[in-house]
Amino acid sequence: MLRAFGSVLRRDIVVTGKDLVAFLAQVLLQPVFFLFVFGKLLTSLGYTSSNYSSLLFPGLVALTATVTAIQAMAFPLVAEFSWTKEIEDRLLAPLPLWAVAAEKVVFATLRALVASAVMFPIGIGVLGSVPYRADGLGLLIGVVLLGSLVGACIGMTIGTFVPPTKINIAFALIFTPLLFTGATQYPWPSLAQHLRWFQVLSAANPITYVSEGMRAALVPTIPHIPGWVCLLALAGSLALFGTLGMIGFRRRAID
Amino acid sequence: MEVRELVKRYPKAQTDAVDRLTFAVASGEIFGLLGPNGAGKSTTIGILTTRVRPTAGQALIANVDVMVAPRTVRSLLGVVPQRNNLDRSLSVRQNLLFHAAYHGVPKAVRTRRAEALLEQFALTDRANEKPELFSGGQNQRMMIARALMHEPRVLFLDEPSTGLDPAARLFVWDRIRELRAAGVTIVLTTHDMDEAAALADRVGIVDSGRLLALDTPAALVRGLTTGASLQIVVELADELALAELLGRLGTLAGVQRCEQVGTEAAGHTIRLYLTGEAAAMVAPVGAAVAEVGARLIGVQICEASLEDVFIDLTGRRLR
């Protein structure tokens, strides 16, 4: 079974490998512009203070990891189940159903990890330097890994529950709120005095815990949610969306 | 391959898509599963290929229960779907190689097997191309070749020659017969009665989830209450002669009934439904026509076909 699982994973890697540049452009264009306009441009013009970029950068890595994983999962899944039917050949392989789903999660996570790793050299290129702390490395890896896994499972949930004809509208309605309530561009604890309702809303977005966990790892001087709380919240999200995604996958794969 | 008392009811459905279906297919047999749209063919194949969960009953592939050991079953069967589900991101050769890899075929074996199948299915020239721009015939050949990469014991083919040109269709038929000769059991679903009659050792006709008939194509045709028929065109002096002719023809031995089916400038067309062979009736019918002073200007023998059996069992209603 491990060999078959490996073959399915190898197929995805071979296909992405042929299109590596397109893949990176697709996932990195948005965070690069964010970084440039909000981290560099506004700071240079004096509209934001220079520490804003060290607050923003961890948040953008978090956003890249999660959103890349969601997209790497949801769009191909919708297409493969509805239009191209490409997934059928794998569903008819002597693999358990969960293994076919798990491979998709592993692959989406790999893509997300590559994209977030590439954010560091890009951050250095755009900002001159990025916050880094060797002490925070373990937490950083844990948070990015869990964030990517959660993203993949959210993608699987969306990709299997939303009817294919509604996927475009669903993405428009899901993505924008996800993008701006994930504590990517602001530190979550600071909302307590100013915008309590928005703080509550942000707490419901799993990306918040990736962003805050990244700040705990890279820039602990900025107020943040403790690392262990982030890891726990992400593990909970993983259990929730992992279960939902698997239910959805089973529903689409077997009548 | 065997199904016993198989039932499938989809959630929210009023009736069973498959309703206590029971039949068996012998090893090395070509079995045709026929039925109108929505008859339950696809659901039955879905259950046998582990993609649909039955509500009740049992389905076995090589004595392995599809519900108990779906993974083992999947390693025993190959599926050629009606709709193209090739991997568009991979080349023709990679499609074959990856399929075998998913099935755990060792690398040396799958490489050798892929080359042989590419050659056999006339795909070697385009083996490194992606299947995006392929014709229906090429896609079909590729899907059959892919399904054979793990040497399945049972091969399911859904409408294998729909949309193919005559040459491609004959090519596919030849490959299917070769597979039978090699001992592969083949389950064919089709709307094409000529295809079923040409290929299948036995056919099962289903409608509303039930098996209506199961036999060799020849036996099913023989079993029709309406056998062969004869269609004649006659030139008559007047309408009176027509009534007399119909009366005489109707009482001929071997004629079940006869009716006028059309009137053109050339003459009246009459159809005779026969109990026996059509050719033997040409002479007595000709004599009867002469007796009423009419002139026989056309004769056509219409042997019953599997299509007549199909229409007889499932009706003419559109679905």
How would you classify the pairing of strands B2-8 and B56-61?
antiparallel
| Residue of B51, B72, B83 lying closest to A91 (CB–CB) | B51
Domain assignment of residue A169, given as a range: 2-254
Mean of per-residue pLDDT scores for chain A: 92
* C-alpha span between B48 and B153 (Å, rounded): 13
Place of tokens 């948070």: A143
Instruction: Give the minimum alpha-carbon distance from B202 to chain A in angstroms, rounded to a whole number.
Output: 26
Plot region of B79 (φ>0 → left; ψ -120 to 50 → alpha; else → beta): beta
Per this entry, what is the length of chain A? 255
Whether A85 sits inside 8 A of B79 (CB atoms) is no
Listed residue (A87, A71, A245) closest to A170, CA to CA: A71
What would the mean pLDDT of A177-192 be, rounded to a whole number? 91
Of A65-74, A124-133, B156-165, B223-232, minimum mean pLDDT range: B223-232
Model confidence band, residue B226 (pLDDT cutoffs 50, 70, 90): low
Q: What pLDDT shows up at residue B317?
A: 67
Q: For residue A74, is pLDDT > 70?
A: yes
Given a contact cutoff of 8 angstroms between Cβ atoms, the answer to whether A85 and B85 are in contact is yes
Contact A86 B102 (CB under 8 A): no
State the Cα–Cα distance between residues A229 and A219, nearest whole angstrom. 16
Angle at which helices A97-127 and A52-82 cross, to 10°: 150
What six digits make up the tokens of B280? 């033997």
Beta strands in chain B (DSSP E): 2-8, 18-24, 30-34, 56-61, 64-65, 77-80, 154-158, 185-190, 202-207, 210-215, 229-235, 255-263, 268-274, 295-302
Tally of domains within chain A:
1
- pLDDT tens, A206-227? 999 999 999 999 999 999 999 9
pLDDT at A99 over 90: yes
pLDDT in tens, A136-146: 999 999 999 99
The structure tokens listed for A10 are: 């190898």
Residues 6+ apart with CB under 8 A from A231: A139, A142, A143, A146, A213
Flag whether residue B72 sits within 8 Å of chain A, measured between CB atoms: yes
Poorest-pLDDT segment among A48-62, A113-127, A237-251, B220-234: B220-234
Are B270 and B249 within 8 A, CB to CB? yes
Please tell me the distance in Å from A106's CA to the nearest CA on chain B: 17
The shortest CB-CB distance from A92 to any of B10, B79, B86 is to B79
Q: What percent of chain A has pLDDT over 70?
A: 100
Work out the pLDDT band at B160, boundaries 50, 70, 90: confident
Q: Terminal CA-to-CA distance of chain B, rounded, Å? A: 29
Which one is predicted more confidently, B96 or B134?
B96
* Nearest CB to B52 within list A7, A18, A255: A255
pLDDT of residue B225: 61
Biggest distance spanned by C-alpha atoms of chain A: 61
Count CB pairs under 8 A between chains A and B: 72
- Judge whether B277 and B228 are in contact, CB under 8 Å: yes
pLDDT-based confidence at residue A39 (cuts at 50, 70, 90): confident
The candidate with the shortest Cα–Cα distance to B38, out of B208, B284, B228, is: B208
Secondary structure of A134-156 as H, E, C letters: HHHHHHHHHHHHHHHHHHHHHHH
> For tokens 């998913």, what's the residue?
B102
pLDDT tens digits, A141-184 = 999 999 999 999 999 999 999 988 888 898 889 888 999 999 99
| Average pLDDT score over chain B | 88
pLDDT at B227: 67
| Residues contacting A63, CB < 8 A, separation 6+ | A31, A179, A182, A184, A207, A210, A211
Residue A59 is predicted with a pLDDT of 94
* B314 or B176, higher pLDDT: B176
Does B137 or B185 have the greater pLDDT score?
B185
Residue B318 pLDDT > 90: no
B85:A95 CB<8 A: no
Digit-coded pLDDT (tens) for B238-255: 777 788 888 888 888 888
The span from the CA of A154 to the CA of A236, in Å, is 13
The sheet with strand B64-65 has its strands ordered as B18-24, B2-8, B56-61, B64-65
Check whether B8 has a pLDDT greater than 70.
yes
Strand partners, B255: B274
* CB neighbour class for A53 (10 Å; exposed up to 12, middle 13-18, buried from 19): buried
Tokens standing for residue B24: 């068996």
State the average pLDDT over residues B68-94. 93
Residue A204 CB coordination number (10 Å): 9
Does the predicted model carry a pTM greater than 0.90?
A: no
Among B75-84, B133-142, B165-174, top mean pLDDT goes to B75-84
